[in-house]
Amino acid sequence: MNLFKLTAISAAFVMSTQTYAESLAITNATVYTAAQQGVLKDATVVIENGNIVAVNPSEVSADTIIDAEDKILTPGFIGSLNGLGLVEVSAVADSRDGGDKKATMTFDPSLAFNPRSSLIPYARKGGITSNVIAPYGGDDIFAGLASLVSLSGEFDSVTRQGVALYVKLGAKHEGSRALSLQTLIDTLEKHSERDEDDDKSKGKEVEILDAVFAKEIPLVIDVSRASDMLELLKVKARFDVDMVFAGAQDAVLIAEQLAGSDTPVVISAMDNLPGSFDSMHAHLENAAKLEQAGVTVILTIAGDSAHNLYQLRFDAGNAVSYGMTAQGALAAITSNVASAFNLDVGQIAPGKPADLVLWSADPFEFSTRIEKVWINGTEVSTQSRHDKLRERYTTDSEMPRAYTK
């Protein structure tokens, strides 16, 4: 049994030993399942032991029943490929743990994940209940391993380590992108030709590459230029591995090839100007065009995404305003993420973790507010540091204005 299977079993054991609230039924909700059932009107979702056990059962029996009053219930949103919990203040080096010059493919930044980061409650305010954290690596093309984390704020929030191997390709400040691509090809080729019975060849790198070749985890490749992505599709076909392209501003030029090869892309709906010569075709309509071409689209936040993950729903709404379907935008921050990274979250269906958000109205509308959030069936607070500061300085108090305790 390899490292990744052991990790998944360990996570499941931790989850099974937690104490959950009594059974809960959410009734009279407009449920956006992000699954085959689509949108269900006047629906009921029943939760027990942290999991969804029924959707629209014929009879409702639960310890607690909440009337949603026709409000919208969605799966908790999933952030993708950022440093949430790995950075507190970007300008302060001591608070950054997502990379290291010496980082290689075995680098696992989840070991430094801080579930008590002040950025996590703020992200929850945007309906984010889980997140795929990613390394930014070092000098090697292999940046390290991405992991799934829960935004519960609990100390066992790393749900599953090693959900993807992150690779940095494309433009280089020094040297040639060709060498980076060749290094990837050589690494995959060497692994495919190794003697599986040779104990001396076994180690953590071998375990990681075994998981890649078994399609247990994908290669997430940070790449923007269309010609680079076409070369990578050849590599994908040659070695029969799963790939996800991140950044992918020029993906719209090769949408047909991406759809035909079942290669998801992680993009920002707000990319509208070239950030480099590799991303000349960044445009606000790209998410819609890729969806229309049949590409699996995952939406993420551009720039300092750890600090701005709260805005993911607004970015999804922007994608809708530029032609993406509302269902496609919802999938791009729920079920598509789960599918690309082999995760058991992102849908409202029996057997899935009860990561749910109840909204006052359309979650992609700016004026909509969150009514309630559940992570693993337990209601969690949406109060953030920002709220506490507002209350501190707008509430009459005998304390001095600069009092901090």
Q: Tens digits of per-residue pLDDT, 2-44?
A: 545 444 444 444 444 444 458 999 999 999 999 999 999 999 9
pLDDT at 117 over 60: yes
Least confident of 1-5, 177-181, 358-362: 1-5
Q: Which pLDDT score is estimated for 261?
A: 98
Q: Which pLDDT score is estimated for 201?
A: 62
pLDDT bin (cut points 50, 70, 90) of residue 246 is: very high
Region at 60 (left for phi over 0; alpha for psi -120 to 50; beta for the rest): beta
Q: What percent of the chain has pLDDT over 90?
A: 81
H/E element holding 211? helix 204-213
Task: Report the C-alpha gap between 146 and 140 in whole angstroms.
Answer: 16
pLDDT bin (cut points 50, 70, 90) of residue 168 is: very high
Q: Which pLDDT score is estimated for 9?
A: 42
Q: Which pLDDT score is estimated for 194?
A: 87
- What sign does the CA torsion over 205, 207, 212, 218 have? negative
Q: Which pLDDT score is estimated for 11?
A: 47
Distances (CA, A) of 89 to 52, 92, 94, 272, 384: 36, 5, 9, 26, 16
E strands along 206-342, which residues? Answer: 219-223, 243-247, 265-268, 297-300
- Using DSSP's 3-state secondary structure scheme, residue 144 falls into strand
Q: Which pLDDT score is estimated for 2?
A: 53
pLDDT bin (cut points 50, 70, 90) of residue 172 is: confident
Q: Which pLDDT score is estimated for 171?
A: 85
Q: Which pLDDT score is estimated for 14?
A: 43
Q: Which pLDDT score is estimated for 199?
A: 62
120 vs 398: which has the higher pLDDT: 120
pLDDT at 402 over 90: no
Q: Which pLDDT score is estimated for 19?
A: 46
Burial 316-340 (b: 16+ CB within 10 A, else e): bbbbbeeebebebbbbbbbbbbbeb
pLDDT bin (cut points 50, 70, 90) of residue 395 is: confident
Q: Which pLDDT score is estimated for 31?
A: 98
**pLDDT tens string 303-358:** 778 899 999 999 999 999 999 999 999 999 999 999 999 999 999 999 999 999 99
Q: Which pLDDT score is estimated for 13?
A: 41
- Using DSSP's 3-state secondary structure scheme, residue 39 falls into strand
259 vs 275: which has the higher pLDDT: 259
Return the DSSP state at 30. E
**pLDDT tens string 366-388:** 999 999 999 999 999 988 888 88
Task: Report the C-alpha gap between 241 and 216 in whole angstroms.
Answer: 9
Amino acid identity, residue 293?
Answer: A
Contact status, residue 220 vs residue 81, Cβ threshold 8 Å: yes
Q: Tokens standing for 113?
A: 């994940």
In the β-sheet with 219-223, what is the strand arrangement from edge to edge?
Answer: 77-82, 128-133, 142-150, 158-168, 219-223, 243-247, 265-268, 297-300
